[in-house]
């Protein structure tokens, strides 16, 4: 992407709109209140087969839909582990395009940006989404083609926002519940990331513009999944520094859904298998 201008990158590769507490549908101020006494020092959900491969948003500003779909996939598969129904060879893939096309009451054009909280609240209302095979990504917004008969059931009973700017809250949420959507302020050096632990003195926690998924953590960094394909970063992932609190806003605006069949990780640890 080094041949793209910053204006092109900002328009086509991002798309995270910060939430607005004045919106009638956003009247919530939940925090996880998780017990942090048993949290492992490091964790990576990729090792347990519930993180789907990195996908590519192309030139649509749909990072929010990719992050939301990825987290929904992981939380549904985690629930399947608890029920003894999980098959890592048949990973669940939820359609980002379904969100982009059918979300118009909240986002008039899904390629112009959105918010993961809004996406989770939308799914809470409609009770599910189609999969990628039935509703493939086309890199633009089209008319809604949602097929209720082929719906992947996603019964969300709550949407949680971790304590703003609190890295330890984010750590607890990742371990206890599963991958979490995060916002970050991506500056012109973000897209050039290749490897290593990322930090940027120029970023501003008040200017979040890109949505990603935190799938794990280490004492030195958070592991985040991007939606720019596997050729970017570390096979599509980035390690965001924990050397200071809330690096580039990583823990500023973090959301995850609570499914009706959600089970805390400690209760299913004996069922987790590394793949």
- How far apart are the C-alpha atoms of 56 and 139, rounded to whole Å? 9
- How far apart are the C-alpha atoms of 172 and 35, rounded to whole Å? 8
Which of 198-208 are b and which e, b meaning 16 or more Cβ less than 10 Å from the residue's Cβ?
bebeebebeeb
Catalytic-role residue among 10, 130, 209, 226: 226
Are the CB atoms for 215 and 42 separated by under 8 Å?
Answer: no
- How far apart are the C-alpha atoms of 103 and 14, rounded to whole Å? 18
Catalytic-role residue among 210, 248, 254, 262: 210
- Give the strand pairing for 197-198 and 237-241: parallel
Per-state percent for the chain, helix, strand, coil, to nearest 5: 30, 20, 50
Q: Mind giving me the DSSP string for 142-154?
A: ------GGG-EE-
Distance spanning both ends of the chain, measured CA to CA:
32
- How far apart are the C-alpha atoms of 133 and 100, rounded to whole Å? 16
226 is catalytic: yes
Catalytic-role residue among 12, 60, 63, 254: 63
177 is catalytic: no
Catalytic residue IDs: 63, 210, 226
């Amino acid at each position: 992407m080094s041949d793209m201008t910053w204006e092109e990158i900002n328009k086509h590769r991002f798309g995270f709109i910060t939430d607005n507490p004045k919106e009638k549908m956003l009247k919530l101020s939940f925090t996880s209140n998780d017990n942090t006494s048993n949290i492992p020092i490091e964790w990576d959900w990729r090792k347990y087969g519930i993180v789907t491969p990195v996908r590519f948003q192309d030139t649509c500003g749909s990072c929010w839909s990719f992050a939301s779909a990825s987290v929904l996939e992981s939380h549904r598969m985690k629930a399947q582990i608890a029920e003894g129904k999980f098959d890592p060879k048949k990973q669940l893939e939820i359609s980002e395009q379904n969100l982009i096309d059918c979300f118009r009451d909240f986002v008039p054009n899904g390629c112009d940006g959105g918010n993961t909280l809004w996406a989770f609240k939308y799914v809470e209302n409609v009770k599910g989404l189609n999969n990628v095979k039935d509703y493939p990504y086309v890199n633009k917004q089209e008319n809604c083609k949602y097929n209720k008969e082929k719906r992947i059931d996603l019964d969300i009973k709550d949407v949680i926002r971790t304590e703003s700017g609190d890295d330890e809250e984010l750590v607890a949420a990742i371990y206890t519940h599963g991958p979490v959507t995060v916002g970050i302020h991506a500056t012109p050096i973000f897209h050039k990331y290749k490897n290593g632990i990322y930090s940027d003195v120029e970023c501003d926690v008040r200017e979040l513009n890109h949505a990603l998924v935190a799938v794990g953590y280490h004492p030195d960094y958070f592991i985040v999944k991007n939606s720019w394909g596997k050729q970017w970063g570390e096979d599509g992932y980035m390690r965001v520094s924990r050397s200071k609190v809330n690096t580039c806003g990583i823990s500023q605006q973090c959301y995850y859904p609570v499914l009706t069949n959600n089970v805390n990780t400690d209760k299913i640890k004996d069922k987790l298998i590394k793949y």
